[in-house]
Amino acid sequence: MYQATGMLLVQLGSSAEEAFARLRAYAYAHDRRLGDVARDVVERRLRFQPDPPGGDDDGQ
């Protein structure tokens, strides 16, 4: 879990808390165990992309 969080921290350019939250959110959204998702990240079968700039605005 820690290694996967560290890898996401680099991929996302985010804090450790944000990286772990994204890992958990992905597992929840895809009905997968957190450990399985973490393993996929570590084994480079799953990559995350940073949110686009201004991703929180409503497009106006």
Burial of 12 (0-12, 13-18, 19+ CB in 10 A): middle
List, for residues 2-58, the tens digit of each pLDDT value. Answer: 999 999 999 999 999 999 999 999 999 999 999 999 999 999 999 999 888 765 544
Q: Taking Cα atoms as reference points, which of 16, 11, 2 lies closest to residue 46?
A: 11
Convert the chain into a string of H (helix), E (strand) and C (coil). CHHHHHHHHHHHCCCHHHHHHHHHHHHHHCCCCHHHHHHHHHCCCCCCCCCCCCCCCCCC
* pTM > 0.85: yes or no: no
